[in-house]
Chains A and B, each alone.
Chain A
Amino acid sequence: MASRYDRAITVFSPDGHLFQVEYAQEAVKKGSTAVGIRGTNIVVLGVEKKSVAKLQDERTVRKICALDDHVCMAFAGLTADARVVINRARVECQSHKLTVEDPVTVEYITRFIATLKQKYTQSNGRRPFGISALIVGFDDDGIPRLYQTDPSGTYHAWKANAIGRSAKTVREFLEKNYTEDAIASDNEAIKLAIKALLEVVQSGGKNIELAIIRRNQPLKVTLWEAEADGSREVRSSKLT
Chain B
Amino acid sequence: GSPEDGVSLCCPGWSWPPTPGLRLAHGTTTLAFRFRHGVIAAADTRSSCGSYVACPASCKVIPVHQHLLGTTSGTSADCATWYRVLQRELRLRELREGQLPSVASAAKLLSAMMSRYRGLDLCVATALCGWDRSGPMLFYVYSDGTRLQGNIFSVGSGSPYAYGVLDRGYRYDMSTQEAYALARCAVAHATHRDAYSGGSVDLFHVRESGWEHVSRSDACVLYMEFSGSAP
Contact = CB atoms under 8 A, between A and B. Distances in A.
A108 B97 CA distance: 7
Interface stretch (A16-24, A94-102, A198-206): A94-102
B97 A102 contact: no
Interface string A83-111: 00000000000000001111001001000
Contacts of B101: 100, 102
Residue of A102, A108, A140 contacting most chain B CB atoms (<10 Å): A102
A169 B218 CA distance: 76
Interface string B167-206: 0000000000000000000000000000000000000000
B97 A101 contact: no
A164 to B, nearest CB: 30
Contacts of A102: 101-102, 104-105
B104 A99 contact: no
B108 interface: yes
A140 B97 CA distance: 14
Assign chain A's interface to a size class.
under 10
Contact of B108 (A100, A108, A140): A100
Contact of A99 (B102, B112, B133): B112
Nearest to A97: B108
A101 B112 contact: no
Contacts of B102: 100-102
B97 A105 contact: yes
Interface of A is mostly: loop
A108 B108 CA distance: 19
Nearest to A105: B97
B53 interface: no
Contacts of A101: 102, 104-105, 108
A91 B104 CA distance: 21
Interface string B100-137: 01101100110010000000000000000000010000
Interface in B88-107: 93, 97, 101-102, 104-105
A213 to B, nearest CB: 22
Contacts of B105: 99-102
B102 to A, nearest CB: 7
A14 to B, nearest CB: 35
Residue of A101, A105, A108, A140 contacting most chain B CB atoms (<10 Å): A101
A105 B102 CA distance: 14
A110 to B, nearest CB: 12
A106 to B, nearest CB: 12
A23 to B, nearest CB: 31
A100 B92 CA distance: 14
A99 B102 CA distance: 12
A53 B69 CA distance: 63
Contacts of A105: 97
A42 to B, nearest CB: 24
A99 B93 CA distance: 12
B101 to A, nearest CB: 6
Interface of A: 99-102, 105, 108, 140
Given A99-B109, A102-B101, 9 more contacts: A99-B105, A100-B101, A101-B104, A101-B105, A102-B104, A102-B105, A105-B97, A108-B97, A140-B133
22 contacts: A99-B105, A99-B108, A99-B109, A99-B112, A100-B93, A100-B101, A100-B102, A100-B104, A100-B105, A100-B108, A100-B109, A101-B102, A101-B104, A101-B105, A101-B108, A102-B101, A102-B102, A102-B104, A102-B105, A105-B97, A108-B97, A140-B133
Interface of B: 93, 97, 101-102, 104-105, 108-109, 112, 133
Top-4 shortest CB links A-B: A100-B105, A101-B104, A101-B108, A101-B105
